[in-house]
Chain A
Amino acid sequence: MSALAPLLTSRWGNERAWTLDAYQRTGGYQALREALRMEPAEVLNTVKDSGLRGRGGAGFPTGVKWSFLPPPDGGPRYLVVNADESEPGTCKDIPLMMADPHSLIEGIIITSYAIGCHHAFIYLRGEVVHVYRRLLNAVTEARRAGLLGSSVMGSGYELELTVHAGAGAYICGEETALLDSLEGRRGQPRLKPPFPAVAGLYARPTVVNNVESIASVPWIIAGGADWWKSMGTEKSTGVGIYSLSGHVVRPGQYEAPLGITMRELLELAGGVRAGHRLKFWMPGGSSTPMFTPEHLDVPLDYDSVVAAGSMLGTRALQCFDETVCVVWAVSRWMDFYAHESCGKCTPCREGTFWLRSVLRRIEAGLGRPEDMQILQDIPNSIVGRAFCPLGDGAPSSLTSSLKFFYDEYVQHIQLGGCPFDHKASYLFEAVTA
C-alpha cells in the first residue's frame, strides 16, 4: 500500500476549483442528489456502516455520533462544523476550504438532511480571512443555485447555512467552547454532561464535526459504505489527508488510505532535506507525543499509533532533522500552550505557565538540576487533572521528548546554554535585525 488516493484533494489543482461551476463539472453535488432520494435514516446508516471516524483528532465514529441525537421533538437541531483549525502543524481543513469549499457544503447539506437539521453553521478560525471569503462566496453560489434555502434541489428540504468567523482562540476548537463562542459568549469548555448531542448550540441537540469528516460524506454516499471500507484498515476506514511539514523536500498535503506509514509518506515527499537525517517527528500535531525514526513503519491509523504510544490526531506530520534542538522546539510549543490556555482550569493555566517559565530558563542557560524533576512532575499535574482534552494534550511534546532526548535537556543545564546552532535548522534565510 503506497499509492496516493486523492479524493478530498482531487479537485484542488483544477482551474478555479473553488467555484460552483468547476465543482459541478467534476461531479459535484451528485452525491447530494442521491442522498435526497434516500431516507435520512438510510443516509445516516450508510455513514455509520462506512466506519468513518472523526478527522478532527479524537477519531470517534461519525455516524455513531449522529445517532446520539435524541428523537426529533419538533424543535431545532443543529450541525456545527468545526473549522477552527489552530493546532501547530495542522494544515488540512484550511486548504480544503480554500480550494474546494463546495465539497464541504455538499457534505453539510447531506449531513444536515441525515440528522434533521435545518440550520447548519461553519465555525471558522478567524485569522484565515481569505478562506472566510471563499466560504461566504461558495454559500452565496449554493444558495443562488437552489442548493441551500427553502427547498434544497427542489426537494422541499429546507436548510440555512451560516459561516461564522471566530476571534482566534485555540480553545474554540474544543467543541463545547466552540458552541459557547458561536453563541456569542467567552469561549471556554462547558461542563459535560449534558453533551452537545443532547444540549449543544442554544441548548438544542447538536452535532459537531470536523471539516474533513463532513467533506468525506459525499464520497461515502456516492461510492457506498463498502467502497469506503475497502480503503484504509479494518478499524480506520477510508482515506485521510496527511500534512507533511518541516525538514522534508516537498512539504504539503498527501491524501492516502489510513494506515500508510511515515516511511512511505516521506518517500512521496522526497525525503528529509538533502544531507540531513530525521531526528523526531510529530504524528498528529503538537499535542501528540513525538515519534523518532524508529517509528517510521508504524501504520498511521488510529489504533496503531495509539499502540505505539502516540495519537493519530490531525495527521499533521511535522518533521525535524538533526539540526533541531528538541528543547528549543518543545519550548516554542509550550509558549503556544501557555498563550492559548483558556484559563478556565488550574492545571492547564498554571501548569503551562510554569513549564514555559522553566523551559525558557533552561534555554537561556539558567537551568538547574532540580528542573529535570519539575519537567517530569508538572505534566503529571496537568494530564488527567485538566478540564478538557486540550489541557491533557498540552505537555505531550515535552513528556515524549524527555523519553527520547532526556540527555539533551541535561546537556543544556550542564552547559549553561544551548549546544545547537539554531540557524542550521532554518529553512529560510535568517533575518537579523
Chain B
Amino acid sequence: MSTPDLVACTIDGIEIEVPKDTLIIRAAEEAGIMIPRFCDHPLLKPVAACRQCLVDVASPAGPEGKLRAFPKPQPACAISVTPGMVVNTQLSSEAAKNAQEQVAELILINHPLDCPICDKGGECPLQNQAMSTGRSVSRFEDKKNTFPKPLALTPQILLDRERCVLCQRCVRFAAQIPGDPFIALQKRGANQQIGRFDPSVLGVAETAGQLADQTAGDIPAICGEPFAGYFAGNIIQICPVGALTSAAYRFRARPFDLVSTETVAEHDSNGSAIRVDYRRGTVLRRLAGDDPSLNQEWISDKDRFAFRWQAAPDRLERPLVRQGDQLVEVSWPEGIRAAVEIFDSATNPAVLPGGRLTLEDAYAYSVFARTVLGTDSVDFRARPSSHEEAQFLAHFVAGAGLGVSLDDLAQAPAVLLAGFEPEDEGGIIFLRLREADTKVYSVAPFASRGLRRLGGKLLRALPGGEASALDALSSAADGPRAEAAAALKGGVIVVGERLASSPGAYTAALAAADRLGARLVWIPRRAGERAAVEAGLLPGLAPAGRSLDALADDVAETVFGGPMGLTPGLDLPGIIAAAQAGSVDAVLMGGLELADLPDPRAASAALNTAKVVALQVRGDSISPWADVILPVAPPQEKAGTFINWEGRLRPFPQVLTSTALSDARVLQVLADQLGFESRIGELATSHQVFGWLGKPSARRAAPAVAPRAPRPLGAGQAVLSTWRYQVDDSAALDGEPYLAASAPAPVARISAVTARAVGVRQGDYLNVSTSGGTITLPVAIDDLPEGVVHLPAKSPGSWTLVTLTATDGDLVGISAAHGPKEVAR
C-alpha cells in the first residue's frame, strides 16, 4: 500500500516506493541501479542535454490502466516516477542499453582521450562510463574538433574545451546556485563551447573596447565581467570530465596517488564538510565534502583553495626566544623554560587567545588563564568589540547549546540580517538562503551584491545606527519595516560580529526578537569564536555559560581545580591599554594578527612594552613583538572540534602525520612546568566538563545599552561602512596567489550626491582619511545613503584598521584625490 506521499514503481523488475516527484535516475539509485549520466546533478535542475541516461519507460494509461510504453527511450534524469511506472534500464532493456551505447560513442568522438595526462584520470565519470558503456575501439577516424587550451575562466579555473562534453553543469551551477552567471554556452553545433566573455572567442574584438568603456568602474555588468564569484571552484569538482582544472592543482598529482581524509574547513564559522587530499605529507587539494544539512556539496573558494598557509615558508618548527634584538631558534626545553620564566615573574598577566581555536584549545586557554596564570583578563575577540557584545555573548550565546540551525534559517518564513553581509561574512549560508529562496531583509547602509542576488530587501540604516533601525521594526512602522516586522513572526534575526561597533545594537536585537516573536542567532566570521564563548574566553565568563564570580566551589573544583576568587579581568582594549601603561606585564597570545585588532598601532606599542609568549603556527606576523614563540599545529596537523555558529560540534581528525603540538598540549606542558596539575591537555576533559555542567540554570544579565544619537556630519565628513570581504588580504590566502587574484577589486562606494559634494565621479580616486592615515581608492557610485563611504576592511590598499584606526560606524574625512596612490600596508 502506498502512502499518499510515496509512489510505487518498478525498475528493472525491482518494486520500490519513492517520494512523489522523485526522478527516475534517483529512484534507480534507491534501488541500487546506476544509470550512466553526465549532465544530471542532484542539486541542479534537470536539463536532459547529454542523453546518456536514456531508459525505457512505460506508464499505466487509459481507464483500464494498461501499460503504455513511450515510443522512444526517455532521459531518466528529467522524468519523475508516476504510480505503476515500469522502467527498464540498460540492465534489463536491450533498447536502453543500445541507446546508451550509441550516446557514449558520440560523446567520445570529439574527446581527446588524453586520460594519461588528465587531472581527472582515475576519478573521472567519463572514463568510468566509457568503460561501462562505451566501445573498446573508436570507429571515428576523422579529424576531431580542437581548441587552443587552456582558457582561463578565472585566475584559478582553467578550461580545456576539447575535454568538455557540454553537460552544462558548470553553467547551471553558476546561474542556479550562487547566481554568478558569468559563463555561458557559446557558438553552436560542434563548435559549441563553454566560455566567459572573451572577445577573441566570440569574434567581437572591435566592439569589446566600447563594452569595456560602458562597464568601467564597478557597475555590476553581467557582460564582460570575469567569472569570479566566491564559489566558482565548485564547478571544478562537479565537472564530470577533466575539462575544468584548478591552476594550483593542474598536473600536480594523480587521484590514485592521493590519500583522502574527511575533515572540517577552518575559514569560517560554518565548519563546512571538506575532503583533504594529500600525497607524501603534502596537501595538494581540498574538495567539498557532503553534508546535506550544512554545506550540501558546495564550499567557498576560500575553504577549497586556501590551505597552503598551513605549510607556508614562515611555518615554525622549533621555539624561538628573544636574545637582544633577535629571535633565536632554541630547543623545546629551552623555549618552555623561557616562557615559564616570563610567567613566573609576571605580576599581572593577560591572555589573548584569538578566535580560531578548537573547543579543546579554547578550553585549555580558559583553564590555563584562570588557574595557572591566576588572571581573568582574557578575551578571544581579535577584532573590534564592545562591552555590550561581551554581555550579549555571555547572556545569549554561552551555554545555549544547539540553537537556530542552517536548515532552520533556510526554511524560516523570513530572515533579518543585521551587521551581517550574507555572502562576504556568511559563506555557504548565502548559498542555502539563495537555494531556499528565503525571504531576506537586511539592516544595512546599502544593498550589497550578495543581498541583491538573494532578492533581499534593504532596511536602510547608517553604519552605527543599526540599533535605531532594529527598534523601529514594528507593525506601526512605515511600509518595508512593518512588512519585515510581520514576516519575522517565527522567523530569524541574524546578528553578526560587526554589531559590536554599533552601540545598542545587540540590546535592540534581543528586544526585537522578543517583540516580533523571532528567533535570534549570532553568526561570527571566525571558526573558533563560538567555541571560545563556550570555553569562557571572556572576562568573568566560565565554561558552558557559567558566571565566573558565581561559580559554586564544587564546580570550580571540577573545572579549575579549586575556588577562584579572581578579581574581574580586562577585555582586549583594556589589556592593550594596561600593557601600554605597564600594569599588564606579560601576555600569552594565541593565533591572531595585530592588523585585525581595533588599534593595531596601540597594540604594537603595548606588546613591545609587555613580555609576550605567543603560540603560533607561523612566525612572520608576530615576530617583532614576541619574546618567546612556541610553535603549534595548524588544523590539518591535529585533531579537534570546532563549534559552528549553530552550536553544532564539528569534530575533525588529524589529517597529516606531524610532530606539531596543539595549543592545549603546549599549555599542558607549560602548566606542568609551572607546577600545576590541571589536566587541560587531554582531549576528553573539555568535552566531559560540558557533560558534567549541563545547561546553566540562570542566564547572565542582558546588555542594556541605548542607541547612539545621530551624529551631525561636518563638511567633508562621512560615516565609514566597512566589512571583511570573503576573499581579501587575509593571511589564510598566503601561498595561494590564484585565489587572491579572484578577489573583488577594492573600490570606495559613495552615493552620487556624496560624490558631487566631494567633486568626484565614477572611476576618480577618493581619499578617505583619519588622523591615523589615508586610504585612496577608485570611486564607485552606488546606492548608499548620503554621507556614507564604504570600504573593504582588509583588501589590497584598504586596511581600514591599520591605516585609519577606524571601523564600521566611525567618522572619516573624504576628499577628491588626484591620482592613484601607493598605500602602504
Which residue of A339, A352, A385, A387 contacts B73 across the interface (Cβ within 8 Å)? A385
Pairwise interchain contact A191-B184, C-beta atoms closer than 8 A: no
**Is B106's CB within 8 Å of the partner chain A?**
yes
Which residues in window 185-210 of A have CB below 8 A to B?
186, 188, 191
Most buried by B among A340, A343, A344, A346: A346
Chain B residues 87 to 128 lying within 8 A of chain A, measured CB to CB, are: 99, 102-103, 105-107, 109-110
Cβ contact of B103, chosen from A338, A346, A374, cutoff 8 A: A346
Stretch of A28-36, A73-81, A87-95, A353-361 lying at the B interface: A353-361
Q: Which residues of B contact A343 (CB under 8 A)?
A: 166, 185, 187-192
A354 pairs with B99, CB closer than 8 A: no
Contacts A343-B166, A345-B50, A385-B73 given; does A338 touch B189 at CB 8 Å: yes
Any A CB within 8 A of the CB of B143: yes
Asked if B583 is at the interface (CB within 8 A of a chain A CB), the reply is: no
B395 interfacial by beta-carbon distance below 8 Å? no
Could you say which of B47, B71, B109, B189 has the most chain A C-beta atoms within 10 Å of its C-beta? B189
Q: Does A398 contact B (CB under 8 A)?
A: no
Contact indicator B189/A352 (Cβ below 8 Å): yes
Q: Which residue of B lies closest to A374 (CB)?
A: B139
A385 and B71 alpha carbons, distance in the complex (Å): 11
Given known contacts A191-B46, A343-B166, A350 and B190 CB-to-CB distance under 8 angstroms: yes
| B188 and A169 contact, CB distance less than 8 A | yes
Residue of B nearest to A392 (CB): B72
B668 at the interface (CB under 8 A from A): no
Tell me whether B586 is interfacial, beta carbon within 8 Å: no
- The answer to whether the Cβ of A386 comes within 8 Å of any Cβ in the partner chain is yes
In the bound assembly, the distance between CA atoms of A347 and B49 in angstroms comes to 9
- The answer, among B78, B102, B142, B166, for a CB contact under 8 Å with A380, is B102
Instruction: Report Cα–Cα, A169/B187, bound state, in Å.
Output: 11
Shortest CB distance B701–A (Å): 54
- CB-CB < 8 A to A353: which residues of B? 109-110, 145, 189-190
Classify the interface of chain A: helix, strand, loop or mixed: helix
**Bound form: Cα–Cα A385–B52 in Å:** 9
Cβ of B790 within 8 Å of any chain A Cβ, yes or no, is: no
Main secondary structure of the interface of B (DSSP, over half): loop
Question: Are B49 and A350 in touch, CB under 8 angstroms?
Answer: no
Choose one: A191, A340, A346; the contact of B106 (CB below 8 Å).
A346
A339 to B191, CA, bound (A): 9
Residues of chain A within 8 A of B140, CB atoms compared = 354
Most buried by B among A361, A380, A381: A381
A361 neighbours in B (Cβ, 8 Å): 142
- CB < 8 Å: which of B48, B73, B190 contacts A384? B73
Which residues of chain A are near B102, meaning CB under 8 Å?
A: 347, 377, 380-381, 385
User: Could you tell me the distance between the alpha carbons of A191 and B184 in the complex, rounded to whole angstroms?
Assistant: 18
Contact A341 B54 (CB under 8 A): no
Interface core residue of B46, B47, B102 (most chain A CB under 10 Å): B102
Q: Is the CB of A350 within 8 A of B48?
A: no
Give the interface residue-count category, chain A.
20 to 34
Q: How far does the Cβ of A358 sit from chain B's closest Cβ, in whole Å? A: 7
Instruction: Count A-B contacts at CB 8 Å.
Output: 96
- Give chain A residues whose Cβ lies under 8 Å from the Cβ of B188: 169, 171, 340-343
Once the chains bind, are A339 and B48 in contact (CB under 8 Å)? no
CA distance A338 to B51 in the complex (A): 18
> In the complex, what residues of A have CB within 8 A of residue B789's CB?
none
Given contacts A169-B188, A342-B188, A358-B142, contact A385 B109 (CB under 8 A): no
Tell me if B628 counts as interface (CB < 8 A to partner A): no
B740 contacts across to A, CB distance below 8 A: none
- Which A residues between 346 and 389 are near B, CB-CB below 8 angstroms? 346-347, 349-354, 357-358, 361, 370, 374, 377-378, 380-381, 384-387
CB distance from A202 to the nearest CB of B (A): 17
CB distance from A171 to the nearest CB of B (A): 8
Given the interface contacts A345-B50, A347-B51, does A385 sit within 8 Å of B103 by beta carbon? yes
Within 8 A of A (CB), among B173-218: 184-185, 187-192
Is there contact, CB below 8 Å, between A381 and B78?
Answer: no
Q: Are B51 and A387 in contact (CB under 8 A)?
A: yes
Given A191-B78, A354-B142, are A385 and B189 also a contact pair (CB < 8 Å)? no
Question: Looking at A352, A353, A380, A384, which has the most chain B CB atoms within 10 Å of its CB?
Answer: A353
| Measured CA separation A64–B49 after assembly (Å) | 30
In the complex, the chain B residue whose C-beta lies closest to that of A357 is B142
Residue of A186, A351, A378, A385 touching B99 (CB-CB under 8 A): A385
CA distance A351 to B142 in the complex (A): 13
Does residue B393 face the partner (Cβ distance < 8 Å to A)? no
Name the one of B52, B54, B78, B192 contacting A349, with C-beta atoms under 8 angstroms. Answer: B192
Specify which chain A residues have a CB less than 8 angstroms from the CB of B51 in the assembled complex: 345-347, 385-387
Q: Check if B165 is an interface residue, CB within 8 A of chain A.
A: yes
Determine if B139 and A350 form an interchain contact, defined as CB atoms under 8 angstroms apart: no
**Interface readout for B53-93 with A: 1 if CB under 8 Å, 0 if not?**
01000000000000000011100001000000000000000
Residue of A nearest to B143 (CB): A357
**Residues on the B chain within 8 Å of A186, using CB:** 184-185
A387 and B49 contact, Cβ closer than 8 Å, known pairs A350-B107, A350-B110: yes
Q: How far is the CA of A143 from the CA of B166 in the complex (A)?
A: 45
In the assembled complex, which residues on chain A have CB atoms less than 8 Å from the CB atom of B73?
Answer: 384-385
Question: How far apart sit A370 and B138, CA to CA, in the bound complex (Å)?
Answer: 13
A340 touches B189 (CB 8 A): yes
The interface residues of chain B lying within 8 Å CB-to-CB of A346 are 49-52, 103, 106-107, 165-166
Complex formed: what's the CA distance from A342 to B102 in Å?
19
Q: How far is the CB of B62 from chain A (nearest CB, A)?
A: 19
Cα–Cα, bound, A370→B140 (Å): 11
- The distance in angstroms between the C-alpha atoms of A361 and B48, with both chains bound, is 32
Which chain B residue lies CB-closest to A185?
A: B184
| CB of B603, distance to nearest CB on chain A (Å) | 54
List residues 313-328 of chain B with CB under 8 A from any CB of chain A: none
A171, A341, A349, most chain B CB atoms within 10 A: A349
Can you spell out 10 A-B residue pairs with CB atoms less than 8 angstroms apart?
Answer: A191-B78, A345-B48, A346-B51, A347-B103, A349-B192, A352-B190, A353-B189, A361-B142, A384-B99, A386-B51
What 19 additional pairs, Cβ within 8 angstroms, besides A191-B48, A345-B51?
A169-B188, A340-B188, A340-B189, A342-B188, A343-B166, A343-B189, A343-B192, A345-B48, A345-B50, A346-B49, A346-B50, A346-B103, A347-B103, A349-B166, A353-B145, A381-B105, A384-B71, A385-B73, A387-B49
Chain B residues close to A by CB (< 8 Å):
46-52, 54, 71-73, 78, 99, 102-103, 105-107, 109-110, 139-140, 142-143, 145, 165-166, 184-185, 187-192
Q: Which 8 A-B pairs have the closest CB atoms?
A: A343-B192, A357-B142, A381-B102, A384-B72, A350-B106, A353-B190, A341-B189, A343-B188
